[in-house]
Structure 1
Amino acid sequence: MNRDGKKVEMFQVGPCQDAYQFGILIGKRFSKLIKTRLATDLILHNQLLPFANNTLQSQSLLQTLFDNNQRKFPRYWDELLGTAAGSAVPLLHILLINFRKEILAFIPKEGAKSSSADTLDDCSDVLVVGESMAIAAHNEDANVALVGHTYLIKGILPDGMFFVGYTYAGELPSCAFGFNSHGLAFTLDSVPPAEDEVVAGGIGRNFISRDILEATCIEDAISRIRSSEISVGHCYNLIETSTRRILNVETASRKRDSVFEVGEPPFFHANMYLHLQINQVHDENSISRQKRAAALPKNSKEDFLSLLGDADDRKYPIYMTGPLLHTLCTAVIDLDEQTLSIIEGNPKKRDVSHVFSIKRCHGDHPNAI
């Protein structure tokens, strides 16, 4: 929900002559949101920009990071160039927020002006594929500065295929969740690898998730994830309606990954590695949410929504309302109904703002959602 109480806006883009034009249109449409997001982003101003301006320390890292991602994903790079031009904001600012995780890992902690600004995002997912229901429910949690600075992008490609991605202002669709006309959907959870597990100059998480939006099936999505040398870790919940499957994929640098197929027992994932063996940062917030989720009933869709709306733990609630982190919305993907619903506000109240059909439609009807 935006600050003025209006539901998150969806903007249809495409087909376009090229990726740069695609970005231009998004940048122009959401110029105000992008500018206000950049103006109020403490992580950008207190950490990313000071680091980027310290050329001795940062030049090599940033140049390698930018070069490798432009080479791997030239179309998505051009989208960012267009977004910067269309919104009339500095390109460096757009690049820094899109690569924030890949850069923050290399900023000396004592150099940060505000330690509280380190907290970027936390998300919670509860997943199940059983006889009676197959559901993925996801809380999209982010820094409170992102409240009111998100939008939905419906991108139509030249071949008629389309995707819908929940998008942070100025970033590639989508670092949160999305789906496409091949019947493939995903939600994302950040995970915290230890410092020695992060590789400088690798592929950015935003670029990989943007690529998954164009995947043709769940196997293609895994292939796209594995083809990239990710810089920091990430967790992907891949959902395919046509085969009624949900895969939880945990990744780390040096092309390490672990794939867990969700089945009858409900599976809760916060912001910690659960099955990929890797050194990770001890995250009390995630540990607390995991323990709380384990104690709550998970027998129905209503139970899932109640779990994601739970705020009984005042220090580390599953549903967050500040002061630092805020649950922006909840996405509910029902594989049997083949729908993705977005709930704004506490999911217990079920205030659904959008419902999308995610049936596989072979790109024949780009407006049929």
Structure 2
Amino acid sequence: MSPGRQLERRSSLPVLYTRGTHYEVGFDIGRTFRGIIPNYLAASKSFHDSLLKHHGEGDGKAAYDVTLEHLQKNFPQYIRELQGIADGARVPFRHLMVLHLVTSLRPGVQTSAPEPNLGCTSVSLNKDGEVLLGHTEDAEAEMLNRIYIVEVEITEEEPQGRWGFKKEHFTALCYAGEIPGFCMGYNRHGVTFSINVLRPREIFSGKTPRHFLCRALLAADSLATAHRILEDAGVGAADGFSANVIHLAKDGNRTFQNIEVAPGKADGSGSQVSTHVIENGEHYIHTNNYQHLTVDEHLGSLIVKSSISRRARAEVLPPPTSRERLVAMLSDDQDPVHPIFRNDDPVFVTTALGLFDVVRREWTLWMKNPKKDAPLFSLPMTFEWDE
């Protein structure tokens, strides 16, 4: 079969267990998924070629260079990790790096350029006996059947990057060719999260791309550390996103938050951040528009239109006050234009549906709509105090 031909939706999701330095685990990811990563790049050749062109000349190259320089200073371990993925997959580093960048910009200059993204849906439930975070992982159709899970244990001899992490241990769903953290995952410190892309009107190069802030979130050992990572003092996020975060403590206490992040100002004051706490007995629905952080966003973009439509549909469904109702909401495909679970769209699809159940200590994944298919599997959620 040619690389560009789209496979029908498969009931398959590979899982890799790997241990080593950042470069070593990156290499193992790239080597193990050598068939998937170049295949995805070939399937999305037109889009990928446009990214390479944008970031290979003029303003785009300047944006690429200044962003990479910044990342090599503040997050060199994740650049080495991405280099490992590229080396293992036998693709040029630049071909993967451009997947982690925003549209072509001059260094430090804002843009109003939209991006083709219809977004994900996250639903949270915080009540005694059921602490749940469900998420549809939506992406371009070329990403269907080209995702995987990694369980990673990293040990370095010296503190790494601006936050000085030496050890990391996490499990995460990944897009082909991208560093972990941008979809959903959890770590052994009890931090579990999913990510929603957001579309602020102003985005910047020379700041921290959201992929790298989300990657650092996988190393957070507390909510305080998570907030410090997302605030990114002195630099700030280059673009926007939302993190739906559960922190489970050793004594069983939990904190449930939605954290919205917007780009920092040009003066380098750090990200704009707003936190909404999901209290005991509450549920919360988040799509791909800002709900509590006041930000000028692309109201006319597809991602915002889709978000408004998905949220409106969710509001008329039975409230997600149980596991069954939460999964039913994320499985809903009745809206003919912007369904919550997007199954057959030739451009943008739900690639997977995940449910973190903190009480049961399991992460359940569906590759097909739960209305019609059973979960593919569940992974146990283990924490450092279990070991």
Report the AA paired with residue 213 of structure 2.
Answer: I
Q: Please give the alpha-carbon distance, in whole angstroms, between the structure 2 residues aligned to 1:121 and 1:163.
A: 27
User: Is it true that 1:141 corresponds to 2:148 in the alignment?
Assistant: no
2:95 maps to which of 93, 96, 102: 93
From 92, 108, 119, give the equivalent of 2:116: 119
Letter in 2 for 1:177: M
Structure 1 counterpart of 2:103: 103
Moved more, 121-130 or 86-95: 121-130
Query: Structure 1, residues 174-214: CA drift from partner, whole Å, max 9, x if none?
Result: 210011111211100001101xx212221011111111111
* Separation in structure 1 between the aligned mates of residue 383 and residue 262 of structure 2, nearest angstrom: 30
Distance verdict in 2 for CA 1:71–1:181, change over 3 Å? same
Q: Would the aligned equivalents of 1:191 and 1:233 in 2 still touch at CA under 8 Å?
A: yes
Amino acid at match of 1:63: D
* CA deviation string 1:97-140 (max 9, x = no partner): 122xx23577xxxxx9xx9xx42451001112124532111111
Look up the match of 2:369: 346
Structure 1 position 259 matched with structure 2 position 243 = no
- Counterpart selection for 2:295 from 275, 278, 301: 278
The change in CA–CA distance for 1:293 and 1:139 in structure 2 (over 3 A counts) is same
Structure 2, gaps ≥5 residues long: 1-6, 107-112, 156-165, 265-270
1:337 counterpart = 2:360: yes
2:81 aligns with: 79
Partner of 2:209: 204
- Count residues in correspondence: 347
SS of residue matched to 2:351: strand
* RMSD of equivalent CA atoms: 2.1
1:4-153 alignment runs, 5 A limit: 5-14=10-19, 16=20, 18-42=21-45, 44-53=47-56, 55-99=57-101, 102-103=102-103, 118-120=115-117, 122-153=119-150
CA contact (8 A) 1:119 1:325 kept: no
From the superposition, tell whether residues 104 and 303 of structure 1 become closer, same or farther in structure 2 (CA, over 3 Å): farther
Q: Find the aligned partners of 2:227 and 2:362 in 1 and give their Cα distance.
A: 22
Measured after TM superposition, the shift of residue 161 of structure 1 is: 5.0
Q: Residue 151 of structure 1 aligns to which amino acid in structure 2? A: Y
Identity of aligned residues (%): 25
Whichever residue aligns with residue 127 of structure 1, its letter is: S
Amino acid at match of 2:276: F
Listed as ranges, the gaps of 5+ residues in structure 1 are: 107-111
Choose from 147, 170, 180 the match for 2:177: 170
Correspondence list, 1:288-299, <5 A: 288-298=309-319, 299=321
Task: Point out the more displaced range, 351-360 or 58-67.
Answer: 351-360
Stretch moving more, 205-214 or 338-347? 338-347
Q: Secondary structure at the match of 2:365?
A: strand
**What amino acid is the match of 2:256?**
I
Contact 2:259/2:275, CA 8 A, preserved across alignment = yes
User: In 2 relative to 1, CA 80–290 (structure 1 residues): closer, same or farther, beyond 3 Å?
Assistant: same
Contact 1:241/1:336 (8 A) holds in 2 = no
Structure number with the higher helix fraction is 1
Give how far 1:350 is off: 5.7
Q: Structure 1 residues 355, 218: CA separation in 2 closer, same or farther (over 3 Å shift)? A: farther
SS at match of 1:151: strand
Judge conservation of contact 1:19–1:75 (CA < 8 Å) in 2.
yes
In the superposition, the TM-score normalised over structure 2's length comes to 0.84
Q: Point out the more displaced range, 43-52 or 231-240.
A: 43-52
* 1: CA distance, partners of 2:27 / 2:272: 35
CA–CA separation in structure 2 for the residues paired with 1:221 and 1:67: 24
Residues 63 and 160 (structure 1), Cα distance of their counterparts in 2 relative to 1, 3 Å cut: closer
The 1-side partners of 2:10 and 2:373 are apart by: 16
Distance 1:234 1:133, change over 3 A: same
Picking from 306, 326, 338, the partner of 1:316 is 338
Q: Which residue of 2 aligns with 1:155?
A: 152
